[in-house]
Structure 1
Amino acid sequence: MKPKFDTKFWAHRLNSVKAKIQDEEFWVPIMRDLETASRDVQFRKEFVKANNFDVFQEHSTVQEIFSYVEKSVMGELRMIGQFNKGLKKELFEKTRVNVKLSKMVIPSITTLWLFTTDTFTMNYKALLNEHVIEYILSWLNPLYVNEAFLQEKDRLFGGCLSILWNSICSDSDMKYPIRKHMAPHIETVKCMSEDFSFDQRILALTCILLLTDHERKSDLTTTSADINILIKALHETVESKGGDVVISNATYKLSELLIIFVNISENDTTKDILIDLHIVDSLLHLLPITSLDRDQRIQTLQLLHKLSFKIKTRSGLTDFTKRALDDFLITTNDFEIVELCKRVIFELDQKKRLKESVNTPLEDKYRKPKHVLISYNWGSQPLALKLKSCLKGSGIPTWMDVENMGADTLASMAEAVENAFCVLVCVSEKYKESSACRSEAEYSYNLHKDTVPIMMEKAYSPTGWLGILCGTKKYYQWFNETTIATSTPALVNYLLAHPHAHRSLKEESVEEPALEAKSCSVTSATPKQLSTTDSKEIFMNKLTQHSLGKLKDKFGTFDIDMLKYLQEMERRSPDFLWTTLETQYGMHFQEIIQFCVLLKQSNFD
């Protein structure tokens, strides 16, 4: 017998299985041996080190085995119980299927599960190709329908769900290929979350929340007793200063609880449930516990950051959370922990920031240099850099976080949003699920910035908070060379004609006088020059004619470009303009209406 860690020997054995896939007596013992060997972590390390993931790739040994199991076992399992062929024959078939499941499916599922438990595996895309994922999900329903007679149902269900869960937790990108195949099986997983052991219910619940879209998962947690159990477990952990806690005869570490909460809190409905169950209080008491390690503190803050989008709407909870975080910040100098604390505080401070923005004189806002801000997720960075290059080549001042970042990254981002005349939101599934991207996009929205969706992912339709933010706005496609070439002229012309951009373009032209789309070969006309003092005089006379003469003193210092800016603000951000006129300029209801009507009727070109 070859040495246990001889990976070449194992690779040869596994590859030989494909040639004899019809011969169960040949390959079943090999898979059993692999299952036994894989229980040794050192074997798995050697196997990964030798880069033998080819046995998991498309048309691989594992895929061939799963395909054979689908034809020879699962098809038969789907038929059992559908036809009344007599109790004796039905029991015979069930016994035979149980034997096949035990011989063929369990070793393969267990081996995959063991490999996904390792942080050193890393290459989950090789370990779980889309065909293997599809098989695992498609087996859930026939297994569930016939679970009453399955002898090893816990190993079957637990193995399938654990493979999905481990893969998602270790490589967040895995959620996207798995999600594509999840929709037809959501009801099965939901039923499993109600009928099985606590461990499997939590796995099923978490998979549902991670792998379904916003609309489908919004109603899945509102009656879940398991979330209450998890919250109680977290409270117990706080009381024991970060110790382990026992739930349904299983021991959970604090880090395991936090991982579950971080994942299920991606759902906005779940956020509300968690806050109602006082999770914030527990998290704030966790942070200063000295026995917590660095990873546990980071997980706690990541969870607080996800919850902060809901916390900020809760009266009283915002100030309580900020005070606790301020106290904690004094005790640490860890850069990542400090940054996460600042992100939470930034989100909770948005009301204050918005109030300061409203109170800034309109003239000061106009005189500040303006730019286009590109808001993106790192998964879309190559496309976002292409977008930046196209805009700068057309003379459009552009801000992106790959440059112009100060020592305080959060303050730099906030200032960049505040000084943007337009925010390009690079829409993708990863963007929607990033807390940092959500913070940036919502801050732009709350400041009434002109937000333009740039589609970075083919056939993706934003839902949830991102769907609300994008609304019915015009989308620009930007996910391949063809769509970039098509969208660039329209996008560049839109930004060049943007009334808020005119002063910025004039300032930029000192260094870059040519306003042609250099890097994308798109020719665009320069914006019109806005200068006729007659238009300003006519507008001021209109104010007098409509009993608004007292406003001439307030707006007399505005030049024609600033009046054009006001007119465009009335069109794009009427709520913001109304608030500004009411709070800063002391205008009453009828005066604001009359003023806005005059703005609409005026021609400043």
Structure 2
Amino acid sequence: MLLFPFPSQDSDFCRSFGTEEYFDVTKQSLLYFDDPANKIFTNDYNGVNLTLKVKLSILYTLLMIISKCLDNRNVYRRANIIPTLSMMGKENMEVKTLSLLILSYVVDEEENEMLTKSEDAIRFLTELFIKTVYSTQHMLDSTYIAEYNVIFVYSTSELLDALNHLAVNDSNKLEILKHGGVPAIIRMLQSDFTKEEKELAIKALWNLAFVDNIRANSEVQKAKSALRQLARSEDKSLSDASSYALWEISGHREGISTTRQTDYPPSYEETVRSDSESTHLMLSYQWDHQETVRSIGESLTRAGYKIWMDIFDMSGNTLDAMAEAVETSSAFIMCATEKYKMSRNCRSEAEYAMELNKPIIPLRLEADYKPDGWLGLALGKKLYFEFYSDDEMTTSMQKLIKEIEKRGLKRQCDEADGAAGVVPIQASIQEASPSRSPTTQSKKPTIDISNWTNEDVQTWLQEKGIPQMCSPLSFYTGSHLTEMYEQYKESKQEVKNELKSAYNLDFDTLIKFTTALAQLFK
């Protein structure tokens, strides 16, 4: 029995609780019940201290509110409830676990240290998940409830959803692998699980496969057979998710339709040649900002450019459409938001564009979000075009069009015509990589790395004795290393902090890599 109002499953209802006043009251309640001097309940209820039960009820209510409405996360931050939650659970593992579940929806990359310090809680959460997978009803039964001394009955879906949110951070992905979560996730692809449970497991594998060490894991590779079968499902959501998961696990070699697999993925040279025939600018975005991006797309169309965004073009096989859109794009316009970073689809699009050396032009759609994690490393010190203010929209659009023209593209027609098309004025290996102003060119390295492919970068890392960096930099080319070195010259400590946070690097690896990078450009 919950002693705190349990929220509706409706997201609008949960959104109504997203006020600083509500969270401030909640924080004060938690602090009150966490104070040993306020143990006002002395009797047990079903064998559980009532103070603990109230505390757990508050936490569980918070979990439901934030999980059903991610927009409340900024309210959590402004209400400064994160430090309170990070200190909870010193005396009770379930309090710690519930606090961790809430934090998994709320913390950003800089705050992720709160989670990584709680390795025992991540382990505990993974163990609970594994128990539910192999239980008859796919939830903790009475045996495990007694064994783990928990109050709430957690389901497989509930626990895996929390692990998926934890796994937005790449270092947490490795913790889930370490504690045996992957075989249990793969077990969920079998017939005795519901369609919803299978889809959640598929998305978990898709998410985990962004890390090379996990993608190459023998257990993960065994999942390909089941994913191939599910990719043929008549259910579009299952089929699409399976195709994406298979695509990431296979290193972009499976998952697309067989009609496109004969020469797939395209080689570096083929990508360069295809840029000379590219037909559009690709707008990559997370759907919550569709109206803003649509307005940007319409402005670019009126200016004479052909654009691609999934509201117009995504049909049939979603992965096929995305892959072809990236491959045939003349530039990749990345609309950076916090939810973009958290989106599997967006990360798949962005990393594929990086792999194919597409020019990336970043737009910033949220004033209070600075790209972090994998997105922060992908964009680095690139110049952002601000589109989060209506007042700046016209000026930003003018600057964006100038940047597009600077990349070697010009409008096919006059603005008044409004016809869409792109005419490239030059195509070369140099321009296939993100361009840079002459004033920011780095000193020419002793080795010419301008044409390095990602395989060349991987070889260099191995030769320098830092194989730990092969996974984080799996899609990096010579142009990406040049970009990173420019960032490193401007702000060494910031780049080091970003690398350490995003990839959980130890001190020795961090020093070896940054030293090797600096030597490469001497």
Q: TM-score, with normalisation over the residues of structure 2?
A: 0.72
Which residue in the other structure is 2:103 paired with?
Answer: 208
Aligned pair partner of 2:39 in 138, 146, 149: 149
Distance in structure 2 (CA, Å) of the matches to 1:498 and 1:268? 32
Which residue in the other structure is 1:78 paired with?
Answer: none
Alpha carbons 1:496, 1:527 under 8 Å: kept: no
Per the TM alignment, residue 258 of structure 1 is displaced from its structure 2 partner at its CA by 2.3
User: Is 1:394 aligned with 2:284?
Assistant: no
Distance in structure 2 (CA, Å) of the matches to 1:478 and 1:360? 34
Which residue in the other structure is 2:165 paired with?
Answer: 263
User: Is 1:273 aligned with 2:175?
Assistant: yes
Which ranges of structure 1 fall in alignment gaps of 5 or more residues? 1-38, 40-108, 520-525, 531-560, 584-592, 594-605
Alpha carbons 1:350, 1:443 under 8 Å: kept: no
Distance in structure 2 (CA, Å) of the matches to 1:416 and 1:123? 38
Which residue in the other structure is 2:453 paired with?
Answer: 579
Alpha carbons 2:189, 2:201 under 8 Å: kept: yes
Which residue in the other structure is 1:320 paired with?
Answer: 222
- Tell me the secondary structure at the aligned position of residue 191 of structure 2: coil
Alpha carbons 1:242, 1:254 under 8 Å: kept: no
Residues 507-534 of structure 1: per-residue CA shift (max 9 Å, x gap): xx3xxx3146979xxxxxx99996xxxx
User: Is 1:171 aligned with 2:69?
Assistant: yes
Alpha carbons 1:147, 1:153 under 8 Å: kept: no
Which ranges of structure 2 fall in alignment gaps of 5 or more residues? 42-49, 255-262, 437-447, 458-477, 479-522
Distance in structure 2 (CA, Å) of the matches to 1:570 and 1:455? 21
Evaluate the alpha carbon distance shift between residue 570 and residue 366 of structure 1 in structure 2; reply closer, same or farther with a 3 A threshold. Answer: closer
Higher relative contact order (CA 8 A, sep 6+): 2
Evaluate the alpha carbon distance shift between residue 326 and residue 392 of structure 1 in structure 2; reply closer, same or farther with a 3 A threshold. Answer: same
Distance in structure 2 (CA, Å) of the matches to 1:178 and 1:216? 13
Distance in structure 1 (CA, Å) of the matches to 2:344 and 2:116? 21
The one-letter code of the counterpart of 2:398 is P
Alpha carbons 1:222, 1:270 under 8 Å: kept: no
- Tell me the secondary structure at the aligned position of residue 244 of structure 1: coil
Which residue in the other structure is 2:60 paired with?
Answer: 162
The one-letter code of the counterpart of 1:304 is L
The one-letter code of the counterpart of 2:176 is L
Per the TM alignment, residue 415 of structure 1 is displaced from its structure 2 partner at its CA by 0.9
User: Is 1:308 aligned with 2:308?
Assistant: no
Per the TM alignment, residue 269 of structure 1 is displaced from its structure 2 partner at its CA by 2.2
RMSD between aligned alpha carbons? 3.4
Percent identical: 22
Which residue in the other structure is 1:382 paired with?
Answer: 291
User: Is 1:285 aligned with 2:187?
Assistant: yes
Which residue in the other structure is 1:541 paired with?
Answer: none
Q: Equivalent residues in 2 for 1:441-452 (5 A)?
A: 441-452=350-361
Q: Equivalent residues in 2 for 1:482-521 (5 A)?
A: 482-499=391-408, 501-502=409-410, 505=411, 509=412, 513-515=413-415
Aligned pair partner of 1:187 in 62, 68, 83: 83
Residues 483-517 of structure 1: per-residue CA shift (max 9 Å, x gap): 11221111111112322x25xx4xxx3xxx31469
Distance in structure 1 (CA, Å) of the matches to 2:96 and 2:102? 10
Per the TM alignment, residue 388 of structure 1 is displaced from its structure 2 partner at its CA by 0.2
- Tell me the secondary structure at the aligned position of residue 266 of structure 2: helix
Evaluate the alpha carbon distance shift between residue 342 and residue 581 of structure 1 in structure 2; reply closer, same or farther with a 3 A threshold. Answer: closer
Evaluate the alpha carbon distance shift between residue 166 and residue 406 of structure 1 in structure 2; reply closer, same or farther with a 3 A threshold. Answer: closer
Per the TM alignment, residue 241 of structure 1 is displaced from its structure 2 partner at its CA by 5.1
Q: Which has the higher helix share?
A: 1
Distance in structure 2 (CA, Å) of the matches to 1:252 and 1:162? 11
User: Is 1:336 aligned with 2:237?
Assistant: yes
User: Is 1:221 aligned with 2:221?
Assistant: no
Which residue in the other structure is 1:135 paired with?
Answer: 25
Per the TM alignment, residue 271 of structure 1 is displaced from its structure 2 partner at its CA by 1.0
Per the TM alignment, residue 370 of structure 1 is displaced from its structure 2 partner at its CA by 3.2
Q: TM-score, with normalisation over the residues of structure 1?
A: 0.63
Per the TM alignment, residue 310 of structure 1 is displaced from its structure 2 partner at its CA by 2.1
The one-letter code of the counterpart of 1:228 is R
Alpha carbons 1:396, 1:496 under 8 Å: kept: no
Which residue in the other structure is 1:87 paired with?
Answer: none
Alpha carbons 2:244, 2:319 under 8 Å: kept: yes
Which sits farther off after the overlay, 299-308 or 457-466?
299-308
User: Is 1:470 aligned with 2:470?
Assistant: no
- Tell me the secondary structure at the aligned position of residue 395 of structure 1: coil
Which residue in the other structure is 1:234 paired with?
Answer: 129
Aligned pair partner of 1:126 in 10, 16, 20: 16
Evaluate the alpha carbon distance shift between residue 130 and residue 287 of structure 1 in structure 2; reply closer, same or farther with a 3 A threshold. Answer: same
Per the TM alignment, residue 135 of structure 1 is displaced from its structure 2 partner at its CA by 2.3
Per the TM alignment, residue 417 of structure 1 is displaced from its structure 2 partner at its CA by 1.0
Alpha carbons 1:312, 1:348 under 8 Å: kept: no
Alpha carbons 2:33, 2:39 under 8 Å: kept: no
Evaluate the alpha carbon distance shift between residue 242 and residue 286 of structure 1 in structure 2; reply closer, same or farther with a 3 A threshold. Answer: farther
Distance in structure 2 (CA, Å) of the matches to 1:370 and 1:575? 29
Q: Equivalent residues in 2 for 1:346-365 (5 A)?
A: 346-350=247-251, 352=253, 356-358=265-267, 360-361=269-270, 364-365=273-274
Distance in structure 2 (CA, Å) of the matches to 1:224 and 1:581? 34
The one-letter code of the counterpart of 2:431 is E
The one-letter code of the counterpart of 2:222 is F
Which residue in the other structure is 1:370 paired with?
Answer: 279
Evaluate the alpha carbon distance shift between residue 571 and residue 384 of structure 1 in structure 2; reply closer, same or farther with a 3 A threshold. Answer: closer
Q: Equivalent residues in 2 for 1:517-596 (5 A)?
A: 561-562=426-427, 565-569=428-432, 572=435, 577-579=451-453
Evaluate the alpha carbon distance shift between residue 569 and residue 155 of structure 1 in structure 2; reply closer, same or farther with a 3 A threshold. Answer: same
Larger Rg: 1
Alpha carbons 1:569, 1:577 under 8 Å: kept: no
- Tell me the secondary structure at the aligned position of residue 220 of structure 1: helix
Per the TM alignment, residue 428 of structure 1 is displaced from its structure 2 partner at its CA by 1.3
Evaluate the alpha carbon distance shift between residue 193 and residue 358 of structure 1 in structure 2; reply closer, same or farther with a 3 A threshold. Answer: farther
